[in-house]
Every structure is written in structure tokens, then in C-alpha cells.
Amino acid sequence: MEHTGERFAPGQQGNIELEHLHRYISAGSLCVGKDVLEIGVGDGYGASILARIARNVTGLDLSVDAIHSAQQTYGSERLEFRTGSALGIPLETASVDVVVSLNATGWREAPEAMMAEIKRVLRSDGVLVMSYSDGCNAPEAQFEAFAKAHFAHVSLHGPRIGRQQDLGDPTHLIAVASDSSAPSKLASGAFDWSARDLAPRHELASDVTSARLKEDDETLVALRVQLTDSLARVTRLEAEEKELRAALTNVGASAARLSAAVESYRSSFSWRITAPLRVTLRLLRRAKRLAAVPYRIVRGASTASYTPVKDLQRTTNGFVSTGDDPQFSVAAGWSGIRPGWALIELEIESGQMPLSPVVYAFAGDNGEQVFSFPITGYVKGLERRLIVLPAGVRSLRFDPVDRSDVHFAIKRLNVRSISKLGLVREGYTSLDSEQRGLLIKETLRGNLHAVKSLVRGGVVGKYDKGEYRAWVELYDTLTPDDIVRIRELGDALAQKPLISVLMPVYNPRPKYLRKALDSVLAQTYPNWELCIADDASTNPEVRTVLEEYMAKDGRIKVTFREKNGHISASSNSALELVTGEFIALMDHDDAIPAHALFAVAEEINTHPQVDMIYTDEDKIDEDDNRHDPYFKSDWNQELFYSQNFVAHMGIYRASIVKKIKGFRIGFEGSQDYDFVLRFLLHTQASRIRHIPHVLYHWRIFPGVTSFSTDNPDKSVNTAHRALVEYFEQAEPGAEVVPIEQFPSWWRVKRQAPARPPRVSLIVPTRDRLDVLQVAISGLLNETEYESLEVVIVDNESVERETLEYFELIKQDPRVKVLRVEGAFNFSKLNNLAAKIATGSLLGFVNNDIKVIHPGWLTELVTQASQRNVGAVGAKLYYANDTIQHAGVVLGLYGVAAHGHRHFPRNSVGYFGRPMLVQNVSAVTAACMLVPKHVFDEVGGYNEKNLSVGYNDVDLCLKIREAGYDIVFTPFAELYHLESVSRGENLSPAQIERDARERTYMLSRWGGEIAHDPFYSPNLTLNSEDYRLAFPPRAPKSWKTP
């Protein structure tokens, strides 16, 4: 890296971006239709550029994690990535036409060996494209000589990169070498180094300067407006500079006096100590105050200034608004403003709260592009919000309130851009110790993608209230080009199903009804109909609006009910208008984004047998500000029984909707939940699809109640009745009870088997009798389940007390002790125990488990006895009552980890996930129940490749591969002290073993790890706290990879 310049990944900006793009564009001119090898591929971005024009591209890199990330992100039929070194290229002799080495360092570290390998894989007429950076320690001449020593024909090239008002010299050279003939000229982005002439370049710089001066003239008027304020600030800074110089002089004098006082203190006797000590403390306090002056001055110079420009009048203590649109012009500090990440800092005092402060950014040639950043929810105190300033940002404005006669004082107002270094600093300081350790590890591995994600996730997480707004700005705002592309894709769909949007209406505010209707009219996908039933609204303006829109577009159909019948009856009236193949449900004041119905149609084309589709959703306030997103799991039947996560937006096959006769009268408030439950009886999980994009905006704010949920108590009662009636058909005998803290969430209590199956609890251990006794006593004496046996697997315990305990405990007929010699191999220990187990259910339990409730095993047995369940995991806590396990998430930290780890015991977590029974991809073997026939069917644990780590995840993935479900239940709770008898994996051998096991998991389960169906691709893989992913991994067909 130090010899070749920084590697580049999408999202980096500035000279690095230009340099790397120039290199690949230049190299690409030689790769058209060729077989290409790139050495030092990094995250694969450059290779993906070459793959667009080459016949085939192979990317090579030493980093296993980089190769895995690149393959997942860019891998295609024409582009593959392999782990390997330039000193041992894993390709056949004479197999490539072009070798591209823009990032490799081998030419400095082992030049002859690297060049021998390159020439081996090149065909006779092959070409080498190699880069040299001005950051190298070797001179340019040495680089040129090195290339010419191995190839008959060599030419050097450099890039044209503009910098400010001049053209800087090239920061890197590209050598093009071949034995067959003189290499071709590169793309126009590069020029011959040997023939370069600086005079034309400086002539061009002069032209550029003239053009930019002309542009500056156009903004001169605007600059004059700020001139007075700037001169005043200069005067103030000059005064502060004088203060600084005086302060520094005083600091020096104070330091001298402090030194003398300290010397006096050292030489005094005990009764005289207090006098110099008092002097010392006094001088220290004064020195501290004086030393802080430089920091205050620098900070003041970097703080934005604000000038009242409209509807504002100064008062003794601040300002008063004299109209309903007061405005301040905001001038950034000396560092200025620029596109990208920025931080708003605001503190206002007023006795007339709440306020509604908004920061505006103006971009474009004349500032015609306006971007607003509301400080929603501001009450008092210092508020910090993270925002993303738009490209071409020119100026800022601050509107403190939206009404007249409000008195307020601005204690702090600042908008400061955050540099890349600042982002790293902000992100790093926000990470906990474990995440910082991971950041260092990934940095050493060269996994830049993971490092970048960790830092960005940390910095946005530090300012939670602005996190989603930043995410939306970056990743979920359609551009004009996106709209064009989406329309093209929609036109190209093989099937264009008619989608009927069903909308019951009753007395919405006309403003929001119009917004709902406009959002449907704005759809890029044209084959829809909007079927509306007005439920005898008492506001005559509602009818006026509906008739207006009906006349505007023939796809809008409206029926006006003569009598109010509430949501179910109204929805059924709208259903009578439906002629489409699929029905989408929408409330009368909500909104859908322009690509919503296209995404639905695209999903139907991809999965033509689909019966039901649901999407992610968020909420919008009265000003259309988006917040509170719900990024959902793929179809998760157990979670759906616990909460109606389908909600918005649901799309259903019309034939089934009509078969179940739409919505049931009497289930108002939970009519959607009842509707989906009855719908499920006529389809299957394989015909249910989830689109992981926010395609529905649920309008919710104080004073507005949805037509469908206007009676919360009734909603809970009808939801309970709907679930009870569903389970009477689907699972007779199941009891539905509300979660105590959240009565709108549910627990389905199934009946335990009439004849309790025998459970074999397998406990591997080595000494540590103090924890083992607690665990075994809990299993035998504190567990209410009677049909059990305990198999203790003794892996070379040596302590006398432990061996005596084994002799004593195996006298209990429920206990077996199996002695296994050899190095610790968790998989082998459990496999051997499973062979002698007599139970039809195998329970894998760590030796540091502590029972909390006696019914824990009954809950696990009940869940494991359900049809198609292959494994069940318990909820585990650390000794400090924080969560240790609430289900495993694939992909976290590269392979898998526990979601919600370290959350408080009773935490709701992400939309209740730690509190609810649900399907997951894996659970921990610290406490896991598996039917023995399932365990045998999948071959048990992997002793060969996974002796210590990830063996439980591998087992669960094999169980899912065999077609079984994995279930997590929070109603089996235990303490877990986590491997206290084994210690941490910190030795070199253990670190090497962990690397091998990670590599195996990625090679065996790479596809599954890349997409956990029960964890949204819009959530981070760099922490267990369900933060947003920056960037998200959800694919978008309208975006070029």
C-alpha cells in the first residue's frame, strides 16, 4: 500500500478518487475483449470497472476478507475473485492477455519473483499495466529501469488531474510493458510521461483560471452582502489575537511562578507545607484558565455566525420574531461549508416552547435547490444532529420558529462540515472497546470495507436523531436518473400485472388525502387502479377532493357509501371495484414512494407464484419528515404470530382475497391482522415474499388517528380474538396470551406433548467445579421437567475435587459421566455424548449455565416438539443481567454473532425482537435443544473443521438446509457466564484456529452468511445493536453495481 497509493472504494472523494479512476480507465483501454488478471484487487471496485469491457477478469488479493467482500459485492459471470499472492499466482501458464497491477507492492518487495510469475501467466503477446506512486521510496528512474529489464517494449504514462486553479504534476506513473510489440496508447485520461511539456499545461491552467474568475464575478454581488460581517469578524479576531498574545505571556509568567512554588513545596517541612500548596493550587487554576484562551479563540473562529435577515428584531436578551417566517443568514466559520457530512449544533432558550427550528441549505448556480433539515423534537439544551449537505451547497439559512411574537435567545448555533479525518475521529470515539478492537483487527487485515462501515456506523449512531435522515439522504432518495431508469425497467417487464390499490376513506384531513392520492398518481409503474370507498364522510370537502381526482385520472374509482360502516365494511365496498390480479392496501392519509408499485410488479415477475408481498415501512409527520423505519425480517411465521409486522404495505393475490371474502365485520382495529391470518390458511411460506425497501410512509403525529386504528383497546381485543380463532383451526389447543408489558404483542403457548419425551442434556467440561456444580444442580434440582438425563463429558479434568464430584454425582441414575481424552474439541465431545444419549431430544448445555426459572426446559421441549422444528434456543443473560443471547445473526462481524448482546435484560430491543418467539437462522449451543433424529440426519457437529468456534451455527445451517426451522424463545431464560472454564482465545494458536474456522464458514456457507433472511440488509453488520447499515446491502435493480 505505501508503495502504490491508497486503494479506492466507492464513496471516497477528492484526488484519490480521480487518481484511481484515471488508472483504471487508462488500463481499461488495453483490456477490451481480453482475459485480464488484476493483482492487489482490494474490495474489487477497480476490477468491476475492467469487467465491463473485458472478456473475463480475475481479481487476486492476499486478504481473505477482502476477497469475500469483493465476491459478494461485484462477483459475476465475467468477474471472479481469488485469494493469492503475486509471488504465486493461482492461474495456469499463458492464460491471460493483460495483467493489471495498480495496487500491488511486490515489485518493491520481491521484484524478480513477482515478475517471473507475471510473465508465466501472460500469453506471448500479453501486456503488463503496472503503477508507480510518488509516495514510493525508489526514484522514478529505478521504476522505469525495472520495467525495461523484463520487457522488450515499455512506455510510461501519467494522468491529467486538475487541482484548484492549476494542474498538478502526476502523482503516479503507469508502465505499459510487452514483449510482442510497442504497447498501444492509453485512454485520453493519460499522457506520455517522457514527452510531457509543462508549458501547455500551465497555459491550460491560465484558461481555467480565467473561466473561474468569470464565474466568480457572477457571485460578487452576493459576496458584498457578507463583506460587512466579515470585516467585523476580522476586527474581532485581531482583538482576540492581542488577547491571545497577552494570555500566552501570562501563561509563561505563571509557569515560572508555579515552578518556584513547587520548589518551595519540595523544600518545606510538614508544618509549612500548607502555604506553598495553597499557592500551587491557586497558580494551577489560573494557568488552566489562561491556557484555555487559545482553544476558545480557535473555536470561536470556527463557529458559524448568524445575521437576522427577515421577521426578526433584537431585544435585550436575544430576538423576537415579528412575523411567521423569521430567518437568519448563516455564515460558516473559517473552515467553510462543503458537500457531505456536517454537524448541526443548536441551543436555544425560550419561555415559549416548543419551537420548530429548521436549517436550510441552498445549492445550484443561483441557490435554487433548497434542502431542509428540521430539528424535530427540539425542547431545550444543546442538540446535535448529523446531516448530509448537498452537492454544490452555496449558503445556509436558519429559521428558529414558524410564528410571530416568540422571544428567544440563541446560545449556540453552528454548522460545521466534518472532514474524512473528522469522521474517523467521531466514529472511533463513539465505538465501544469491542468495536474498537474489531476496527483495529480489520485495519490490520486490510479490510477497508469493514473499517469504513464501522466508522460511518459509529458516527451516525452517535447522533441517533439524525441517523435515519442521513440514511434517507444518502441511500433512499430517488434521483431524476433513478426515475428514468425505473420507468425503463417497468416498460421492459415481461408481465405487467394490474395492481389494485384499495383505500377506505373516512373524514381525513383534505390536505393529507390529496397527498395520499398524489403519491399514487406519481407512480412510475402505470398499470394500477385506485379503488376508493368513502365511508359516508361528514366533511363535504372529502367528496369534493375525491370527485376532483376521479375526473383527473380514469384509473381512480370511487364509491360513496350512504351509511357509515367503519373500516371493514368500507374496505369490502372498495373491494367490489377491484379488477386487478393483486390488491395493495393503503390508508387514506399515508403515502407511497414513486417506485413502490414498480418494485411490487418486479417482484411478481421474479416470483410469479407469489401470493403475498410485504415491504418495509417508516412514518412521516405532518411535514412529510420521515422517521422511525421498520426494516423487517423475511417471512418469519413465529414472529408474525407474536406481532403483525406485515402491516404496511401488504399486497395480496386478489383471487384469495375474494375467496376469504375480504375483511370481517367485527374485527375493526385489527382487521388487517385478522385478514392476513385467514389469508395464510390458503397459501404457504414459499409463496410469501418480502421487499426490503421502504415502500410505505405511515402518517402519524399528535392529533391524527388512523382510520384503521382509532381505538387502541378495541384493537387489542380484536387481535386476540383473531389469533384465537386462527389457532383453533391451525393448531387446536394453543393458548394466546398478551405480552405483559406490551399487550398488542403475543405469546402462543402450545401444549406440551401428552407423554413428555426424554431429554438428554449434554454438558462438556474440564474442571472448574465451582461453576459446574451450579449448572448440574440447576439441571437436576431446579428444573421441573422430570424425563431427563444429564451426560457430563469430562475432557481431561485433573483437579481432585472435580474427579471426586464425578464419582459422587454419577450415583444419581439420571447422570452419566463420559471421559474423553485429547485436546478440547467441542464438536467431538458433543458427538460422542450424543451416541450414548438415550433421549429423543438432545440438549446441548454449557457447564456455566445457571437456571433461573424451573419451567425453562418445558418451554424448550414444547417448541422443539412442533412440526418441522429442527432446533430451539433459549434467552441467556450475563451475570450482570444483560443479554448474552437472543438469537444469532448471520454476517455480524464477518461470520455470525449474537443480536442485542449487552442490551438490558428486559430491553424491548429492535421492535420487540428480544421479547418475542421467532424464527432465526441459528441459536447458540450454550443452551439448545435438537430432536435426535434431526441431529443424526444432518451428521451432527463438524469435528474436522469446527472444533471450537461456529460449530453451533454450522449445525443450525445444516438443519435449515435440510428443511427444518430454527426457533428462538425468550420464555426459556438462563444465566450464562460464557466459557469461564475455557478462558479467552488469545494465544497465537487459538487465533490461527479461529481464522481457519472463519475461512471454512465463509467457504461452506458464504451465500447464507451474506443474506440472513431474518435480519434486514438495511441494518449494520458491524454491531449487535440493529443500527442502520451505511451503506445498506439491499439490492436495487435501477442502480448500477
What pLDDT digit, counting tens, does each position of 615-667 carry? 999 999 888 989 889 999 999 999 999 999 998 999 999 999 999 999 999 99
pLDDT tens for each residue of 263-293? 444 454 443 444 544 454 555 555 545 444 4
Domain count, the chain: 5
Residue 185 predicted with pLDDT over 60 = no
Assess whether 843 and 701 both reside in one domain. Answer: no
- CB of 814 within 8 A of CB of 790? yes
Residue 609 predicted with pLDDT over 90 = yes
Largest CA distance in the chain: 101
- CB of 1 within 8 A of CB of 100? no
pLDDT tens for each residue of 357-376? 888 888 776 776 677 777 75
Assess whether 76 and 207 both reside in one domain. Answer: yes
Would strands 556-560 and 528-534 be described as parallel, antiparallel, or unpaired? parallel
Max mean pLDDT range (321-335, 401-415, 915-929): 915-929
Residue 252 confidence (pLDDT): 52
Assess whether 917 and 976 both reside in one domain. Answer: yes
Chain length of the chain: 1041
| Domain final position from 301, 332, 359 | 301
Residue 748 CA to residue 431 CA, distance in Å, equals 38
Q: Which residues contact 582 (CB under 8 A, 6 or more apart)?
A: 497, 498, 499, 500, 600, 604, 613, 651, 652, 653, 654
In a domain, 66, yes or no: yes
- CB of 588 within 8 A of CB of 504? yes
Assess whether 931 and 791 both reside in one domain. Answer: yes
Look-up: residue for cell 441557490? 367
DSSP for residue 686: G
Residue 966 predicted with pLDDT over 70 = yes
pLDDT tens for each residue of 140-151? 677 778 888 888
- When pLDDT is cut at 50, 70 and 90, the band that residue 167 belongs to is very low
How many other β-carbons are positioned within 10 Å of the β-carbon of residue 470? 22
In a domain, 379, yes or no: no
Enumerate the β-bridge partners of residue 57.
Answer: 36, 79
Residue 135 confidence (pLDDT): 47
- CB of 537 within 8 A of CB of 507? yes
DSSP for residue 183: P
Rounded to the nearest 5 degrees, what angle is found at the Cα of 18, between the Cα atoms of 13 and 22?
150
In a domain, 991, yes or no: yes
Residue 14 confidence (pLDDT): 44
In a domain, 1016, yes or no: no
- CATH number of the domain to which 831 belongs: 3.90.550.10
Residue 879 CA to residue 976 CA, distance in Å, equals 7
pLDDT tens for each residue of 656-677? 999 999 999 999 989 999 999 9
In a domain, 352, yes or no: no
Residue 161 predicted with pLDDT over 70 = no
Give residue 654's domain range.
480-708
- CB of 916 within 8 A of CB of 882? no
The H or E element containing residue 604 is helix 596-606
Assess whether 236 and 292 both reside in one domain. Answer: yes
Residue 211 predicted with pLDDT over 70 = no
Q: Average pLDDT, stretch 119-137?
A: 79
In a domain, 374, yes or no: no
- When pLDDT is cut at 50, 70 and 90, the band that residue 845 belongs to is very high
- CATH number of the domain to which 105 belongs: 3.40.50.150
Q: Average pLDDT, stretch 834-861?
A: 96
Residue 417 CA to residue 330 CA, distance in Å, equals 14
| Domain final position from 444, 460, 475 | 475
C-alpha cell at 55: 472478456
Q: Which of the residue ranges 87-91, 341-345, 427-431, 815-819 would you say has the lowest mean pLDDT?
A: 427-431
Residue 304 predicted with pLDDT over 50 = yes
| 3-class secondary-structure state, position 198 | helix
Residue 970 predicted with pLDDT over 80 = yes
Max mean pLDDT range (36-45, 246-255, 720-729): 720-729
| Domain final position from 188, 211, 234 | 211
Which of 444, 429, 583, 408 lies closest to 503, judged by CA? 583
Residue 749 CA to residue 937 CA, distance in Å, equals 28
Residue 919 confidence (pLDDT): 98
Enumerate the β-bridge partners of residue 764.
Answer: 793
In a domain, 315, yes or no: no
Q: Which residues contact 944 (CB under 8 A, 6 or more apart)?
A: none
Q: Which of the residue ranges 66-70, 521-525, 704-708, 922-926 would you say has the lowest mean pLDDT?
A: 704-708
More confident residue, 737 or 278: 737
Assess whether 856 and 877 both reside in one domain. Answer: yes
Assess whether 491 and 470 both reside in one domain. Answer: no
Residue 215 predicted with pLDDT over 80 = no
- CB of 513 within 8 A of CB of 558? no
pLDDT tens for each residue of 46-72? 888 888 888 899 999 888 888 888 888
In sequence order, what DSSP letters do the residues of 956-1024 get, joined into one string? HHHHHHTT-EEEEEEEEEEEE--STTT----SHHHHHHHHHHHHHHHHHHHHHHH--TTS-TTB-SS-S
In a domain, 715, yes or no: no
Percent of the chain, pLDDT > 90?
A: 51
Main-chain dihedrals φ then ψ at residue 455, nearest 5 degrees = -65, -45
Assess whether 633 and 659 both reside in one domain. Answer: yes
Residue 888 predicted with pLDDT over 80 = yes
Residue 416 predicted with pLDDT over 70 = yes
Looking from the CA of 889 toward its CB, the CA atoms found within 13 Å total 27
More confident residue, 287 or 33: 33
* Mean pLDDT, the chain, integer: 82
Q: At what angle do helices 198-218 and 220-267 cross, to 10 degrees?
A: 100
Assess whether 824 and 964 both reside in one domain. Answer: yes
Q: Average pLDDT, stretch 760-772?
A: 95
pLDDT tens for each residue of 889-929? 999 989 999 999 888 888 889 999 999 999 999 999 999 99
Assess whether 449 and 533 both reside in one domain. Answer: no
| 3-state secondary structure string across 56-75 | EEEEEECCHHHHHHHHHHHC
Residue 707 predicted with pLDDT over 50 = no
Q: Which of the residue ranges 97-111, 481-495, 557-571, 948-962 would you say has the lowest mean pLDDT?
A: 97-111
Q: Which of the residue ranges 10-14, 357-361, 463-467, 711-715 would you say has the lowest mean pLDDT?
A: 10-14
Assess whether 835 and 924 both reside in one domain. Answer: yes
| 3-class secondary-structure state, position 550 | helix
- CB of 736 within 8 A of CB of 746? yes
C-alpha cell at 984: 479467552
Q: How far is CA 794 from the centre of its chain?
A: 42
Residue 84 CA to residue 59 CA, distance in Å, equals 9
Residue 139 CA to residue 934 CA, distance in Å, equals 65
Residue 376 confidence (pLDDT): 59
| 3-class secondary-structure state, position 591 | strand
Assess whether 661 and 763 both reside in one domain. Answer: no
Q: Which of the residue ranges 44-48, 158-162, 181-185, 881-885 would you say has the lowest mean pLDDT?
A: 158-162
